[in-house]
Amino acid sequence: MGWIKRNLFFVGGGLLALVLLGGAGFFIYTGWARNAEKSDKLNEIYGKLQEISQEKPLPGNDKTNNTQIAKDQEKQVRDWITAAGNYFQSIPAIPPDAVVSSEAFAAALRRTVDMLQHDADAASVTLPPKYDFSFSAQRSLVKFANGSLEPLAAQLGEVKAISEILFAARVNDLDSIQRVRVSDDDLAGLQSDYIDEHATTNELAILTPYVVTFRSFTPELARVLSGFATSPYTIIVKSINVQPAGTSTLTDTTPNPYAQANALALEHMRFRGEGMAMPGTMPMPDQQTPQAVTGKGGLQTVLKEQLLRITLEVEIVKLLPKS
């Protein structure tokens, strides 16, 4: 104890040296652990680079720059996407103004509905009485719900495009065109004007659904599908439901002269095929019932086509603006 007192500075210095040596050891240990961890990561990176360098195709060498080739191919794909965009033209809104006013839309709606009714009459397409092409809720309005003018103008243009395809195909009757609700005013409209769906948006486009119901024979149906396929606008037919027109409740019972003419012609073919006189006429003197020819089949079969009620579910594709 006396020695410690006599050598107090020496003992204190020794203890301090021990503490410093312990701290240095701990620092060296932690530094070594970090170095080992970094070394392992560096070896892992070297290993991945080694694997990549052995893959085919190689990322590149003095003769071949695969990185640049990949960039060139990416540019080709982007150019193709740009060119394909020409086939996804947007249907012009009605009116086409960027900012639509209530007065402009009300006037455009009345004008467009009157024009479509006239076009239907010119194409011998029967419409429901006083049909407003799904805009009965807006037809008599001069003021519209906030935020609804732009989507309504877009829908009016799309309904016009669909109607023109049906008129060009000369369907017998247009029963309805149904659209999605985009305005608070639609809540007061006819339920038959709407479908309980919504437009969907993905990373490329907006898909707007419609349901179209009409009556026609198969040639007119073929022309409708062809019209959708050759339209400059992207209209996709998602589903088609076909049934005899007589099995469904019809929205309009007004006789269609075009349908009557087709039916009369088909009946005439059937009666001639069966060797019978048309109702209300005298049989021709030299008219005889054809006999089956042995070994060559029987009478020629004549199909009697039936008026069909067709329901199409379609989607209109509108590309999103480029960001």
Is residue 158 a contact partner of residue 211, using CB atoms and an 8 Å limit?
no
From first to last of its 323 residues, the chain has per-residue pLDDT tens of 666 666 666 667 777 777 777 777 777 777 777 888 888 888 888 888 777 666 666 666 666 777 788 888 889 988 887 777 777 888 999 998 878 999 999 999 999 999 999 999 999 999 999 999 999 999 989 999 999 999 999 999 999 999 999 999 999 999 999 999 999 999 988 999 999 999 999 888 899 999 999 999 999 999 999 999 999 899 999 999 999 987 544 444 444 444 444 444 444 444 444 444 334 433 444 444 444 444 455 556 556 678 999 999 999 999 887 76
| In a domain? residue 226 | yes
Q: Residue 149 is part of which domain span?
A: 89-253+308-319
Convert 74-103 to b/e letters by CB count within 10 Å (16 or more is b). eeeeeeeeeeeeeeeebbebbbeeeebeee
Amino acid at 164: E
* Residues 99, 245: Cα–Cα separation, whole Å: 43
* Residues 239, 246: Cα–Cα separation, whole Å: 21
What's 133's DSSP letter? T
Q: How many domains would you assign to the chain?
A: 1
| In a domain? residue 150 | yes
| In a domain? residue 70 | no
| In a domain? residue 61 | no
| In a domain? residue 96 | yes
Is residue 228 a contact partner of residue 315, using CB atoms and an 8 Å limit?
no
| In a domain? residue 143 | yes
| In a domain? residue 239 | yes
Kindly report each contact of residues 85-92 with a partner whose C-beta sits within 8 Å and lies 24 or more positions away, as own/partner.
85/319, 87/234, 88/205, 88/234, 88/317, 88/318, 88/319, 89/232, 89/233, 89/234, 90/233, 90/318, 90/319, 91/154, 91/157, 91/158, 91/161, 91/233, 91/316, 91/318, 92/157
* Residues 66, 53: Cα–Cα separation, whole Å: 12
CATH number of the domain residue 210 falls in: 3.30.70.60
- Dihedral Cα 152, 155, 156, 159, nearest 10 deg: -160
| In a domain? residue 275 | no
Stated length of the chain: 323
